[in-house]
Structure 1
């Protein structure tokens, strides 16, 4: 089979597609003939050795794979060959065939195509767990989503709106802010404004009647994180999802003044510690999709051979919505 192979960590353009032996599922695993692959920002970090988890080399990157199960290992009871699934793996998705633990696979609903399935897995699970579990969202609350035009950002905007939140989308360009409002945001704020520490608070207070927001979903970090803390209302919660702009330093006194909560999020841990929550999340996500409340905004699909082009969009900050790779099976 053909797969992207990382022999040594390095720039995106240093990695290639190679012909390698197809893997076989071990007990508790399934083999998936991959049709579509969701592209995520952490993929760019992992191939460069900049992600917090560094796989043994050589390895194949990629987290989200959607396709058809071709074989199952001993002990697998929930799936059989021929089932259409999407899977979230720690790595291995950038290939024509992927091995996934049974616990990380989910049946695709009837009518959902592979591109949509691959485009939803990591982004929507992250947004759902961040909002509903870490953020402890309550109906009618106000939610500020930073990086609102990204994969996780748009998922958070859509899910929050489906849950009857007042949603504010924050991003750097007018095009990205318009995408957020098109996908359900009630208002948009400019993250490129001068003196962001003060201007972000002013923008948010202007659209919330001076109240601030109950939850901030932050996949950006850096100076934006510091500014976002100031937009929170009493007992507000800020959810740290990623650090595209750098790792900020949180000052504890900010949190005591208004009884604020800082919550981190690493979705993968829930597969090990709270697997029932993952299943609850997937069920709810598919239910909202069936009700036409949420769906990934697929910016572009590329063939697997163009994985470098797809990943390069993150480096150039040109990624909008969701990017998906497809294999020859599609």
Structure 2
């Protein structure tokens, strides 16, 4: 089986396509012929050995591939050969086939393409858990999404709107504002202004009826985190998703006490392992909103499997706008 093969952890461009044994499904598993897999920043951490969970080598990276069931284990009754599915595989997506527990596979809506399914995977479920589970969003809440034009950010903007919230989109420069507004944001917060510590809060208050926001979704960390914490309303909730800005911030907990605010973190892969029923609810809701036209995946660029290393490097270097999806079996 052709696959991106990581024999030893190292620089992205040191990894190449090679051969791995074709996986054989166990009694509770299905074999999926992979049609599309998103390239995510987290994959660069995996192949370079910097991620918190590292697979045994050799392995193929790639999370949550989508494809067609091509074989089923003896104990599988919920899926059949030919079913179109999104898998929750933690690795193996940069390959022609993958074996996955049947409970970790979800049938795709008829209208959803494999490319759309892969493009939405990871970013939409991450945003759903951040909003629905960690932030306990309610209709009428106000939400500030930092990094709103990234994969998770755009998904969070769309989902927050679908959940009935008012959405302020944080952008790093004004040229990115149209993308966030097209995704459904009600207004823009300019993260490039001077004295962000004060200017972010001033913008939020000016565009949110003179008060702070109920929820902040933060994939950035760094200075935007520090500033956004000060823009939370009483009983506000800030959810940490990542640190794309580079610096991992710290919090003086007396500030949380004085304002009655919360800061929580999200590692979505834990939910896939520990709360599969909630993940099923998440995907059911996302698929329904997709079919209703409330969710629209970001613009997608497709690469062949042979170009996986270039695709990963393009993600790290921010050379591509939108999502990159690999096509292992075009």
Name segments (4+ residues, structure 1) moved above 6 Å: none
Once the two structures are TM-superposed, the CA of residue 147 in structure 1 deviates from its matched residue by 1.1
Distance in 1 of aligned mates of 2:324 and 2:174: 20
Distance 1:176 1:77, change over 3 A: farther
Distance in 1 of aligned mates of 2:134 and 2:74: 35
Distance in 2 of aligned mates of 1:194 and 1:314: 28
Deviations 1:245-273 (A, max 9, x none): 23211210221121001111111222332
Distance 1:210 1:288, change over 3 A: same
Deviations 1:137-166 (A, max 9, x none): 010110011111111111110011111211
Aligned pairs, how many?
Answer: 329
Distance in 2 of aligned mates of 1:110 and 1:57: 36
Equivalent residue, structure 2, for 1:44? 44
Distance 1:173 1:314, change over 3 A: farther
Once the two structures are TM-superposed, the CA of residue 212 in structure 1 deviates from its matched residue by 1.3
Once the two structures are superposed, the pairs formed by residues 9-158 of structure 1 within 5 Å of their partners are 9-158=9-158
User: Which segments of 5 or more consecutive residues in structure 2 lack a partner in the other structure?
Assistant: none
Once the two structures are TM-superposed, the CA of residue 306 in structure 1 deviates from its matched residue by 1.6
Which 10-residue stretch deviates more, 292-301 or 314-323? 314-323
Tell me, what secondary structure is at the counterpart of 1:237? Answer: strand
Q: Contact 2:4–2:61 (CA<8 Å) still a contact in 1?
A: yes
Distance 1:211 1:320, change over 3 A: farther
Equivalent residue, structure 2, for 1:187? 187
Q: Contact 1:307–1:325 (CA<8 Å) still a contact in 2?
A: yes
Distance in 1 of aligned mates of 2:173 and 2:98: 37
Q: Contact 1:149–1:320 (CA<8 Å) still a contact in 2?
A: no
Distance 1:173 1:299, change over 3 A: farther
Distance in 2 of aligned mates of 1:180 and 1:100: 35
Once the two structures are TM-superposed, the CA of residue 72 in structure 1 deviates from its matched residue by 1.6
Distance in 1 of aligned mates of 2:92 and 2:29: 13
User: Which segments of 5 or more consecutive residues in structure 1 lack a partner in the other structure?
Assistant: none
Which 10-residue stretch deviates more, 237-246 or 109-118? 237-246
Tell me, what secondary structure is at the counterpart of 1:22? Answer: coil
RMSD between aligned residues: 1.4
- Answer yes or no: is 1:247 the counterpart of 2:248: yes
Distance in 1 of aligned mates of 2:119 and 2:92: 16
Q: Contact 2:198–2:227 (CA<8 Å) still a contact in 1?
A: yes
Tell me, what secondary structure is at the counterpart of 1:117? Answer: helix
Deviations 1:185-244 (A, max 9, x none): 111122233222222212222211221110111111122211110111010000111122
Q: Contact 2:41–2:316 (CA<8 Å) still a contact in 1?
A: no
- TM-score (norm: length of structure 2): 0.96
Once the two structures are TM-superposed, the CA of residue 182 in structure 1 deviates from its matched residue by 0.8
